Structure 1
Amino acid sequence: MAQFVKIYEENPNEREIDKVVAILKKGGLIIYPTDTVYGVGCDITNAKAMSKIAKIKNIKLDKANFSFICYDLSNLSDYVKQIDTPTYKILKKTLPGPYTFILPGNNNLPKAFKNKKTVGIRIPDNMIIRELVKKLGNPIVSTSIYDEDDLIEYTTDPELIFEKWESRVDIVIDGGYGGNIPSTIIDLSDGEITVLREGKGSIDF
């Protein structure tokens, strides 16, 4: 049975953040708010936890297109090949924000993603998830909570999310109502700007 914890974005409570980080370090799964829809995630260094998320999504881990949530752009070099100046300028201008950028992956990717040439990077404009990443010390592997109900797609009420997910994750963070428009996905992996999904982030840049 999952825990349910309230954390305020304006001033995330350090004790509650530490509690969630301890769960992540033990290989637990968490549900958390972002600047778009609620997501489910785990510690990027824990292969077992990543497999659990893949199982929930009914996909094989090596086929999963999870994104990595980073605290800021300084995390990028851990998993992303050297990027050129125009690409960096786009990232600097738009992040933190409601975007997922597909970038060329480097050799440090976790074992499960070794055969992937690209990686999706997120730096949400939400202090709860960014504080968690900062305290954890490495990115959180993330995927959005997609609803099987075609009409809603994304559940925005944390209490309803808890009801639905409490048997599958270890903790659900109530960070207030979530959005129901996902991030804009932009592929910058080959030097071109290719919009793969238009979501919350504007594509005028």
Structure 2
Amino acid sequence: MENIDQIVAILKQGGIILYPTDTVWGIGCDATNANAVKKVYKLKQREDSKALICLVNNYSMLEKHIDNVPNIAYDILDLSDTPTTVIYDAPAGIAENLVAEDNTLAIRIVKHKFCEKLIKYLGRPLVSTSANISGQPTPKSFEEISEAILKGVDYVVNLQSENKNAKPSTIIKLSNKGEVKIIRE
């Protein structure tokens, strides 16, 4: 198993990492650190108006950062048999440059042993965005990750055998007004 303490130290110092998730390989950072988030946008060559996903490890952490989790969110998450990201209204305690222009944030409760442990030790949500330059195809395996990404992160988690032929999560937007919209299946 990877040295979690070393990875957490890098994240707490504002570093960015490349790591496997329950979907595709991700570029990540401490979701409460605006400077680290800025580094992720820069590495991906992505406009910061395009929001990123955050990973949390349980409902408790979700509720800490979303004041009003709609009841339907729990049903969707409990019934989903694939990784599902939900976009919530009015996030709190997150780097401002992670919050979308409409004051929403995409969050996934991760079901992946390494990610769960990493988030637990970090004690904060973790940014998760696909390990590619914006506009390029999402890598389906570690071998497909570009040299620019590999060299642009501060740490590469040594779990390359993970996530063969993975795919991005389903994304559902829930508003506090009761609206439900599928963004990506």
Question: What is the TM-score normalised by the length of structure 1?
Answer: 0.77
Q: 1:147, CA displacement in angstroms? A: 5.8
Instruction: Tell whether the 8 Å contact from 2:132 to 2:149 is kept in structure 1 after alignment.
Output: no
Say which SS state the counterpart of residue 182 (structure 1) adopts: coil
Amino acid in structure 1 at the alignment position of 2:108: R
Asked which structure has the greater CA Rg, the reply is 1
The equivalent residue for 1:103 is 88
Label 1:35 to 1:106 Cα distance change in 2 as closer, same or farther (>3 A): closer
Aligned residues: 181
Alignment of 1:53-202 (within 5 A): 53-61=40-48, 63-94=49-80, 97-112=82-97, 113=99, 116-146=102-132, 153-159=137-143, 161=145, 163-175=147-159, 176-178=161-163, 179-189=165-175, 190-198=177-185
For residue 108 of structure 1, report the CA deviation from its aligned partner.
3.2
Contiguous gaps of at least 5 residues in structure 1: 1-12, 199-205
CA separation in 2, counterparts of 1:173 and 1:162? 15
Equivalent-residue separation in structure 1 for 2:29 and 2:94 (angstroms):
15
2:157 match: secondary structure: strand
How well do the aligned residues superpose, as a CA RMSD in angstroms? 2.5
CA distance in 2, matches of 1:47, 1:135: 20
Q: 1:47 Cα deviation (Å)?
A: 1.3
Seq. identity, %? 36
Question: Which residue in 2 is equivalent to 1:10?
Answer: none
User: Per the alignment, do residues 107 and 72 of structure 1 end up closer, same or farther by CA in structure 2, a change over 3 Å counting?
Assistant: closer
The structural deviation recorded for 1:148 is 7.1
| Alpha carbons 1:28, 1:49 under 8 Å: kept | yes
Q: Secondary structure at the match of 2:105?
A: strand
Q: Which amino acid aligns with 2:170?
A: T
| Kept after mapping to 2: 8 A contact 1:158/1:174 | no
Matched with 2:15 is: 28
**Cα distance, 1:186 vs. partner?**
0.8
Say if 1:99 and 1:183, in contact at 8 Å, map to a contact too: yes
- Aligned partner letter, 1:133: I
Cα pair distance change 1:47/1:54, threshold 3 Å: same
Q: Deviations over 1:36-84 (max 9, x none)?
A: 11110101122111101111222343x1311110011111122213123
Match of 1:202 in 2: none
Distance in 2 (CA, whole Å) between partners of 1:53 and 1:73 is 25
In 1, the alpha carbon distance for the partners of 2:166 and 2:31 equals 25
Name the SS for the 1:34 alignment partner.
coil
SS of 1:174's equivalent in the other structure is coil
Q: 1:75 to 1:148 in 2, by over 3 A?
A: closer
Distance 1:181 1:114 in 2: 23
Residue segments in structure 2 that go unaligned for 5+ positions in a row:
none
- After the TM superposition, which parts of structure 1 deviate over 4 Å for at least 4 consecutive aligned residues? 147-150
Aligned-partner SS, 1:195: strand
